[in-house]
Homo-oligomer: A and B are copies of this chain.
Amino acid sequence: MTTQEILKQAKEAKTTLMLAAAADRNNALVKMAEALIKPEHTGKILEASRLDLEAAKGVISDVMLDRLLLNTERIQAMTDGILEVVQLEDPVGKVISETVRPNGMIIRKTAVPMGLIAIIYESRPNVTSDAAALAIKSGNACVLRGGREAWRTCYAIVEAMRTGLAAAGLPEAAVSLIEDTTRESAKELMTAEGYVDLLIPRGGKGLIRTCVEQATVPCIQTGTGICHIYVDRAADLEMAVRIVSNAKTSRPSVCNAAEVCLVHREIAGSFLPMLRQELCDRRMEAGLPPVELRLDGKAASVIPGTPAGEEDFDTEFLDYIMAVKVTDSLEEAAAHINAHSTGHSEAVVTEDTEAAARFTAAVDSAAVYVNVSTRFTDGGEFGLGCEMGISTQKLHARGPMGLAELCTYKYIIEGNGQIR
């Protein structure tokens, strides 16, 4: 089917979804989850994965190949993921606020589904079931556009989930996969006014950039994270080392990993050697990859490391690399962050509560931490139970997007003949 035809069917399906009761949506999710682990579907998914992998070998890196791979364990994890979403509180119909006006009319601001959500994503095929589950739970239809390398796998997953939707009496088109994997179909989704109520691009910088520039439908920027940790002069230095080490090394390839460490000059002399020992020496002793420290001039006068170039303070390394800069004050650190951050997550380490308050007020990012690792910016860790992505924009949703962020609201006003 053409992208236009798919959008048309999905738009029809959205009307049913938006009106479906919570019990019906949950029932559909259970049947979608069960379908994935039925032998006939699992077989097709594994076969599709095998073909995708074969075609991708030599074309993409080994790390990417691993992200592409599905096995029965990963399919079971997808099923479990859907069943977890079933357990979450229903976001639809929640009365956000209620006012009775002097003329007697009652205004209820009520959470309702967005309608049709389009998700453009790259590589990992399990996003297919994650995204579909969150969309259906929140009363939305979705059109999914996966990466070209995973297309067969995504298609098999969607086919399985659609049998679940049908078994539950909901329209199959509520979960639709775009068949055209060229750039053209992404462009069509970005400009599908009257069809797409919300576009969520999940992927690299290039994809996000294209969406920001070309989308005429409402769009949420997700993902890229140049996260900072500022070690204040009043920091507990041991805690600072633990936090920076965790934020940098526990999973360097994710967006909430720290890329830059800012250090107050008064404690640079004592802190930087401790940091270097933890991130470099201890890790090498333990047979782990050491972190390459890219140092500004002042940091380089304290510890050895690679001299930092300008671009090192504007790079999402996603690797065992960290830029380090010594600052004269908390204000200088906050200004540096506001100038160089992607607005994702930043942390201050300090025992001075007044300094912490100045930092959290001045830093203009989605999540601002005091004495906590940036690695907690995540829907699950925030208690949202799930996540459709992490917004780095200020409009609508900021930080982890859970079910509530996949809804909009409408005002429902009841009266008895009020006129103005």
| Chain A contacts to B: CB under 8 angstroms | 15, 18-19, 99, 101, 105, 107, 112, 114-115, 193, 197-198, 212-213, 216, 218, 220, 236, 239, 242-243, 245-247, 250, 338, 356, 360-362, 364-373, 375-377, 381-383, 393-396, 398-399, 408-420
Across-interface contacts of A398 in B (CB, < 8 A): 408-411
CA of A280 to CA of B363 in the docked complex: distance in angstroms?
60
Partner of A361, one of B19, B246, B396: B19
Assuming the contacts A361-B19, A371-B414, A371-B415, asked whether A394 and B242 have C-beta atoms less than 8 A apart, the reply is no
CA of A99 to CA of B382 in the docked complex: distance in angstroms?
8
Across-interface contacts of A364 in B (CB, < 8 A): 18, 112, 115, 410
What are 23 A-B contacts with C-beta separation under 8 Å?
A: A101-B382, A101-B383, A105-B376, A112-B364, A114-B394, A115-B394, A198-B394, A213-B216, A218-B395, A239-B417, A243-B417, A247-B419, A356-B414, A360-B412, A368-B412, A369-B415, A370-B414, A371-B414, A371-B415, A371-B417, A372-B417, A372-B419, A398-B411
Q: Is the CB of A101 within 8 A of B419?
A: no
Q: Is the CB of B243 within 8 A of A419?
A: yes
Partner of A367, one of B220, B410, B416: B410
Counting chain B CB atoms within 10 Å of each CB, which of A245, A362, A368 scores highest? A368
Counting chain B CB atoms within 10 Å of each CB, which of A19, A112, A197, A218 scores highest? A218
CA of A19 to CA of B363 in the docked complex: distance in angstroms?
10
Across-interface contacts of A410 in B (CB, < 8 A): 364-368, 398-399
A138 nearest CB across to chain B (Å): 13
Counting chain B CB atoms within 10 Å of each CB, which of A115, A242, A362, A412 scores highest? A412
